């Protein structure tokens, strides 16, 4: 009898040991699902390489759906999540895109315990953690902070056209006429989502940060005079673009290429464009390309954050937790961000290795500390996925009709349907 008990104890201890060992060194297959495909891929690949050196027994599957801003990706993710076939971890923006979609539907695990274990309450800014929080739980791990609405240009090209970087919308319209006269596209846009990105940037310029915030929280009506004014101004900016020419067929990289190649003078894009120009095109920030705040948005930083979470029913939970720990570490954030064109979400990562961060990234890190912050619409912070999806039609209505009243009214309906804009 004694022998039997001893044997059982030994077997049980063995099992406990096996589980502990499994925690320490995960194995099996880990599917990381994102839209960072092709020339958007190097930063993610660096992170996966680092993971693979740490966890050689895990086979990482880098599954991607091509298409900027995740517009194609989200449709595939929806099918998988609703079908009970979640990837181990997937890319999702901080804010409403996370909390208003899969968290509210109870399809994500609460990661508060991981934040406690890893000391992340001190590592990430509280304002960012708030955007990952829903009803007291924290639902994803941020790998970066990106800046939206940056005005990119080539200093040498502007010089050859004898134009300056505009600081007000009026200066921009004057520059626009000069450039048109020279046969240059003043401002290049691409496929639909890049036009929404431009719209949010113009809205911020016209409204200012207080009213911009109020629009998303219910303090400013989509049909107010101020909002009619946003659409009026958006129309004037659109008249300086290629919207009625080749825009719909251009990815954000191709639109950036048009600016780099000199067919266009300016591009309004997030700072993944800096990652693309530096990492992929091998251009030097501050020399080969320049950047500034879009006219009228000086001192305001439109932020967004790429995060990854743990879906309920993730096939390889241990390997996923190890992945999330790496994402939130100084080492992980410093492997990823210098290549991506973004800055770490952690407060202590840049100072741990400042030499990794080029002049653009240093300037973004400084602005992130000092500027007034507002959340991006297109990149998931201030409105939920349904609103962003349907807003494409509002933009179409405006582009077809050029009626600010029609666009304002359509926007109001979409706000109500999606339960966005504080409605």
- Rounded to whole angstroms, how far apart are CA atoms 276 and 283? 9
Distance of CA 376 to the CA centre of its chain: 8
Q: For the chain, state the CA radius of gyration.
A: 23
- Rounded to whole angstroms, how far apart are CA atoms 106 and 198? 33
**Backbone dihedral angles phi then psi of residue 281, each to the nearest 5 degrees:** -90, -5
* Burial group, residue 392, by CB count within 10 angstroms (0-12, 13-18, 19+): middle
- Comparison of 133 and 194: residue with beta carbon closer to ligand GAL: 194
- Rounded to whole angstroms, how far apart are CA atoms 336 and 213? 30
- Comparison of 305 and 404: residue with beta carbon closer to ligand GAL: 305
Taking the CA atoms of 62, 66, 69 and 75 in sequence, report the sign of the dihedral they define: negative
- Rounded to whole angstroms, how far apart are CA atoms 408 and 384? 19
**Backbone dihedral angles phi then psi of residue 287, each to the nearest 5 degrees:** -115, -65
- Comparison of 172 and 272: residue with beta carbon closer to ligand GAL: 272
* Burial group, residue 58, by CB count within 10 angstroms (0-12, 13-18, 19+): buried
- Comparison of 32 and 410: residue with beta carbon closer to ligand GAL: 32
- Comparison of 98 and 407: residue with beta carbon closer to ligand GAL: 98
CB of 193 to ligand GAL, least distance (A): 8
Task: Please give the residue whose beta carbon sits closest to ligand GAL in the complex.
Answer: 68
Closest CA relative to residue 308, chosen from 334, 273, 333, 339: 333
- Comparison of 34 and 175: residue with beta carbon closer to ligand GAL: 34
CB of 311 to ligand GAL, least distance (A): 19
Distance of CA 350 to the CA centre of its chain: 19
CB of 253 to ligand GAL, least distance (A): 9
CB of 36 to ligand GAL, least distance (A): 6
- Comparison of 22 and 254: residue with beta carbon closer to ligand GAL: 254
Residues that bind ligand GAL (CB under 6 A): 35-36, 40, 68-70, 146, 252, 270, 272, 304, 306, 379
- Comparison of 63 and 158: residue with beta carbon closer to ligand GAL: 63
3-state secondary structure of 145: strand
Tokens of 4: 């039997």
CB of 56 to ligand GAL, least distance (A): 28
- Comparison of 68 and 87: residue with beta carbon closer to ligand GAL: 68
CB of 158 to ligand GAL, least distance (A): 25
CB of 10 to ligand GAL, least distance (A): 51
Strand extents, DSSP E, 65-158: 89-93, 133-134, 137-138, 141-142, 146-148, 150-153
Length of the chain: 423
- Rounded to whole angstroms, how far apart are CA atoms 415 and 383? 9
- Comparison of 339 and 407: residue with beta carbon closer to ligand GAL: 339
Tokens of 229: 């004014």
**Backbone dihedral angles phi then psi of residue 184, each to the nearest 5 degrees:** -105, 140
3-state secondary structure of 99: helix
CB of 179 to ligand GAL, least distance (A): 26
């Amino acid at each position: 009898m004694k022998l039997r008990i001893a044997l059982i104890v030994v077997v049980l201890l063995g099992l406990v040991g096996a589980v502990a060992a499994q925690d320490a060194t995960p194995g099996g297959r880990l599917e990381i699902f994102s839209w960072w495909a092709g020339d958007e891929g190097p930063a993610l690949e660096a992170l996966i390489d680092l993971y693979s050196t740490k966890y050689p027994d895990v086979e990482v599957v880098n599954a991607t759906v091509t298409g900027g801003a995740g517009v194609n990706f989200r449709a595939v993710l929806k099918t998988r999540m609703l079908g009970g076939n979640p990837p181990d971890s997937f890319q999702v923006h901080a804010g409403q895109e996370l909390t208003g979609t899969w968290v509210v539907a109870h399809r994500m695990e609460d990661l508060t315990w991981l934040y406690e274990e890893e000391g992340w309450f001190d590592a990430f800014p509280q304002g960012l953690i708030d955007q990952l929080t829903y009803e007291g739980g924290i639902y994803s791990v941020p790998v970066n902070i990106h800046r939206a609405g940056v005005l990119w240009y080539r200093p040498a090209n502007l010089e050859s056209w004898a134009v300056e970087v505009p600081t007000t919308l009026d200066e921009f319209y004057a520059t626009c006429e000069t450039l048109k006269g020279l046969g240059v596209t003043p401002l290049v846009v691409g496929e639909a989502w890049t036009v929404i990105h431009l719209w949010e940037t113009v809205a911020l310029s016209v409204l200012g940060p207080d009213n911009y915030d109020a629009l998303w929280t219910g303090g400013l009506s989509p049909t107010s005079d101020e909002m009619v004014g946003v659409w009026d101004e958006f129309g004037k900016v659109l008249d300086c673009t290629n919207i009625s020419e080749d825009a719909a067929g251009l990815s954000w990289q191709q639109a950036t290429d048009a600016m780099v190649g000199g067919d266009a003078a300016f591009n309004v894009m997030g700072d993944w464009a800096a990652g693309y120009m530096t990492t992929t095109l091998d251009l030097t920030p501050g020399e080969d390309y320049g950047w500034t705040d879009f006219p009228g948005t000086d001192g305001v930083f439109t932020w967004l954050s790429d995060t990854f979470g743990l879906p309920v029913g993730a096939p390889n939970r241990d390997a996923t937790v190890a992945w999330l720990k790496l994402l939130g570490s100084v080492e992980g954030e410093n492997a990823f961000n210098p290549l991506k064109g973004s800055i770490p979400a952690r407060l202590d990562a840049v100072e741990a290795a400042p030499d990794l961060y080029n002049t653009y990234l240093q300037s973004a890190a400084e602005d992130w500390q000092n500027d007034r912050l507002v959340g991006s619409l297109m990149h998931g912070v201030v409105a939920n996925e349904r609103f962003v999806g349907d807003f494409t039609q509002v933009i179409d209505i405006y582009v077809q009709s050029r009626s600010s009243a029609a666009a304002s009214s359509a926007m109001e309906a979409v706000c109500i349907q999606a339960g966005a804009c504080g409605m």
